[in-house]
A and B are shown apart, each in its own frame.
Chain A
């Protein structure tokens, strides 16, 4: 492959940026980006989309359907980023399957659920758009070829007050990504450049986004500490976007530098449930040209993840729909419980971090018995055992010895928890009254996992309005020519996003960006 050493300094020089600085002065935010008059465009499109996830493809599909020429740039070799590895669960308020099964839902109900999880700091106007248009986004994805398991009662995800989640036929977000990719590529003069890294926005003299700088033949390198800062591969290109640019670059859960700046509890070597390319670089470029940052330090972490496997894995389901319910999680150092295993994600992750800060290797251990597992995840029990993420023991003594937990203390914790369940009162406020006495079955066998919080969804990002236009901190008005959608935007879900609402958010606002550009 051709390599061209392109340092950040070179990238800034490219396009004679010095001239821009001289004219606008260093205090001008968009002086940080190359100017149209200083660059030569290699190719020209109506619309350029950054990122091939749900948001990017939905934006591109809508824009292309309206007759625009569209270029989508994707820095990775794969299409779809997190969207392609996501579970394909799509919260759709007022969907046909709810009606079919007599489930009463409403936009207000959806918004109330989201606000409750989001601790009230959600940008409600964006939730209103999602609630109103989720059904359109669902139908649009079907128009593009996505298929869903329909007809049954919708799935009921945690925090939703009614079942409202529809799932793709293949139970992955790729069930939407693959057909949408084909849909876009079939439309005239629309293409996707993979291994093409967005480097910068190109602005005109008035501050309007009129194109992007990118590098083709880019090879993402997950061995680097920061791919964004260190990777110099690729050949530089400049692409013109006559109508504008849609930023749909996703979140930054895999960005070691930026996530730690926002939450210093996250160690550099922390795994994430995300794909390796989920970095902050593109979002930071939007901040550099003046986009308002919103709630970037709210990073949703999954307290149900396992340090014994990479990425999302099987641990989350074994814990969420298994050990965390009728079972308990203990601190391996003293055998004691330290949290309500069914509390919200942030409360639990913070409780885990309290331990991991004192002893980075003391991953809290979850344990339970067979009655713990929901029926639908029983097949995963075997997988968890086969891969070593979960272990099975005949007695608590065996478990304690293997997990290096003081055995007397562990037995005491189990006994105390079981008594609490029978009384209907838990010392950490777990809703045990609803368990009908179901708890850890002392005759065993006992199942156990190690747990670790992993960054899962970054709640913050750039500020958009209801038309998916990015709002400038310089003017409090839309930055001309710049739209954004999906996880790179902030505020919609407030402190914590409910499960299965990411697909809804990304597709809805992606579609809106494509409609408005």
Chain B
């Protein structure tokens, strides 16, 4: 992920109000992607990402300007904003006590691929349910 992009995203978080001024890739020769209702329906964003008015190219950096051609951004893409798996584990560290921190699980530690559970354009799933189908409700809310 480019440093420019990281800065841009940081800007989004800091000054949401003036986000439109910062834009995505300022020097990009690409034509801006118009988010049509159809596109929105085909590639819905998570509510928390939608609230921040993310543009496609914030995540799909350097992938051109045709949403149909965009590819999976991988852990690296997610972590360009979410810092590191260890950082995410730390945020849920209160769950460590019962060995149920999904980002630092007793079985996997902080090693899982993000999309093992989290999806952006389709509903997320929870890998823990593969074995903990019922008891997961005792310790976890739906996967964001």
Chain A interfacial positions (CB closer than 8 Å to B)? 1-2, 77-80, 84-85, 170, 172, 174, 178, 181, 194-195, 275-276, 309-314, 383, 386-389
Contacts and interface: CB of A to CB of B under 8 A. Distances in A.
B113 A195 contact: yes
Interface stretch (B4-12, B42-50, B83-91, B102-110): B102-110
B130 A84 contact: no
Sorted nearest first, the 9 A-B pairs with minimum C-beta distance are: A387-B134, A1-B72, A311-B131, A310-B133, A174-B107, A77-B113, A84-B107, A387-B135, A77-B116
Contact of B106 (A77, A172, A275, A312): A172
B143 interface: no
A309 B107 contact: no
A346 to B, nearest CB: 24
A309 B131 CA distance: 8
A311 B130 CA distance: 7
Contacts of B19: none
Interface in B111-144: 111-113, 116, 129-135, 137-138
24 contacts: A2-B71, A77-B116, A78-B112, A79-B111, A80-B107, A172-B107, A174-B107, A178-B109, A181-B111, A310-B129, A310-B131, A310-B133, A311-B131, A311-B133, A312-B131, A313-B131, A313-B133, A313-B134, A314-B135, A383-B135, A383-B138, A387-B135, A387-B138, A389-B134
A84 B113 contact: no
B99 interface: yes
A310 B130 contact: yes
Contact of A84 (B72, B108, B137): B108
B130 A276 contact: yes
Interface in B59-109: 71-72, 99, 106-109
Nearest to A76: B116
Contacts of A388: 134
B106 A309 contact: no
Max count, chain A CB within 10 A of own CB: residue among B106, B107, B132, B134: B107
Given A174-B108, A275-B130, A78 B135 contact: no
Given A1-B71, A275-B130, A79 B135 contact: no
Interface of B: 71-72, 99, 106-109, 111-113, 116, 129-135, 137-138
A11 to B, nearest CB: 23
Contacts of A2: 71
A276 B77 CA distance: 27
A186 to B, nearest CB: 14
A172 B106 CA distance: 8
A276 B99 CA distance: 23
A178 B72 CA distance: 27
Contacts of B116: 77-78
A387 to B, nearest CB: 3
Contacts of B113: 77, 194-195
Nearest to B73: A1
Given A276-B130, A386-B135, A170 B99 contact: yes
B15 to A, nearest CB: 33
Nearest to A86: B107
Given A1-B71, A77-B112, A78-B116, A174 B131 contact: no
Contacts of B107: 78, 80, 84-85, 172, 174
Contacts of B129: 310
Nearest to B111: A79
Given A1-B71, A77-B116, A386-B138, A170 B106 contact: yes
B71 to A, nearest CB: 6
A1 B75 CA distance: 12
Given A1-B71, A181-B111, A309-B134, 13 more contacts: A77-B112, A77-B113, A77-B116, A174-B108, A195-B113, A275-B130, A276-B130, A311-B133, A313-B131, A313-B132, A314-B135, A386-B138, A388-B134
A79 B116 CA distance: 12
Contacts of B99: 170
Nearest to B113: A77
Contacts of B109: 174, 178
Given A1-B71, A2-B71, A78 B134 contact: no
Nearest to B115: A77
A318 to B, nearest CB: 13
Contact of B131 (A79, A80, A85): A85
A425 B132 CA distance: 39
Contacts of A84: 107-108
Contacts of A313: 131-134
A234 to B, nearest CB: 13
Contacts of B111: 78-79, 181
Nearest to B99: A170
A181 B112 CA distance: 13
Nearest to B138: A386
Contacts of B108: 78-80, 84, 174, 178
A392 B116 CA distance: 36
A78 B106 CA distance: 13
A155 B116 CA distance: 35
Most buried by A among B133, B134, B138: B134
Contacts of B133: 309-311, 313
A389 B138 CA distance: 14
Nearest to B131: A311
A181 B107 CA distance: 12
A178 B111 CA distance: 10
Contacts of A79: 108, 111
A108 B64 CA distance: 68
A311 B134 CA distance: 11
Nearest to A311: B131
A481 to B, nearest CB: 30
